Amino acid sequence: MARFNDKSIVVTGAGSGIGRAAARLFAAEGARVVVADMTDGAEETAALIAEAGGAAQAIRIDAGREEDVIRAIALACDRFGGLDVMVANAGISGGLANLFDTDVALITEVLRVNLIGPFLAVKHAAPRIAERGGGAIVLTASVAGLRSGAGSPAYSASKAGVINLAQVSAQQLSGSNVRVNAVCPGLTETGMTQPTFDYARDAGKLDRVGRLNPLRRGAQPEELAEAIAFLASDAASYVNGHALVVDGGLSTSHPVTRQEYGKTAV
């Protein structure tokens, strides 16, 4: 498949995890990718793409700074002739502080990166994509943005905002042929969650990671990359303002005592 032949794509947070997997998938399917991250992972991802025969340009940015987002988009336009797809994936966890231990500085920083970052991506990418006749913007939200239980107050609030931002943006871009959607990952093995997965492996308890969802496992970044690529592709040409949940089925149910497959519930 080559769904993205000659498409110009920016991916933020592409230095690792879901962003890296998405950037590599886009490039493997013919896209020219601006790999944006605030770490040297940007150069590492671009090198992996180049080694595989793809086209990528790395750039160091803070995804929550307007001038940096503008620079990344300008690089795509200057280097690759325009912009077709924007993936606002960069985010931070904000730790595990509860409501009363979350100070204003912490929630401000989480909102700056996780919510203002996607806002800036939509604001500055949409006009460039519209100039090309249309395309897609994909925002990385989370199941934590759907309801309580999957993240800290700061993180959860930021991701709920991302989901709503996708809906509002889809409406306000009416007539532009620019679609805006969000993807909502469940527990996925990324830099943010690596300590959890590493601890489970070392303790011989990897089978317990993700055990609350029907698939009984966590996700790999490549599985989320496939969802992002779908939303960015022409296969999703009539999908707009949607939050696509990719969580192994976790959010299909409220917390209950689970019935084991093939056994009678007690």
Q: Does residue 8 sit in helix, strand or coil?
A: strand
Name the 3-class secondary structure at 250.
helix
Maximum C-alpha span of the chain: 63
Residue 47 in tokens: 């090198």
Q: What is the pLDDT of residues 8-26, one digit of tens each?
A: 999 999 999 999 999 999 9
If you count them, how many residues does the chain have? Answer: 266
Residue 89's closest CA among 141, 29, 151, 147?
141
Question: What tokens does 3 get?
Answer: 């769904």
**For the segment 119-130, what is each residue's pLDDT rounded down to a tens digit?**
999 999 999 999
DSSP 8-state code for residue 114: I
Q: What is the mean pLDDT of residues 91-107?
A: 91
Closest CA to 73 of 29, 137, 30, 20: 137
Assigned CATH for 8-189+221-246: 3.40.50.720
Transcribe 190-243 into DSSP letters.
STTTHHHHHHHHHTT-GGGTTTTSTT-SPBPHHHHHHHHHHHHSGGGTT--S-E
Would you state the structure tokens that stand for residue 214, as one six-digit string? 């029907």
Share of the chain above pLDDT 90, in %: 76
Helix (H, G, I), strand (E, B) or coil at 90: coil
In whole angstroms, give the CA distance from residue 75 to residue 10: 9
pLDDT of residue 266: 46
pLDDT at 217: 85
Q: What residue ranges do the domains of the chain occupy?
A: 8-189+221-246
pLDDT digits 0-9 by tens, 236-251: 999 999 999 999 998 8
Helices (H), the chain: 17-28, 41-51, 66-80, 104-111, 117-131, 153-172, 194-202, 221-232
Q: How confident is the model at residue 255 (pLDDT cuts 50, 70, 90)?
A: low
Strands 135-140 and 85-88: parallel
Helix, strand, or coil (residue 185):
strand
pLDDT in tens, 141-192: 999 999 988 789 999 999 999 999 999 999 999 999 999 999 999 988 766 6
Q: Which residues are catalytic?
A: 155
Q: Average model confidence (pLDDT) for the chain?
A: 91
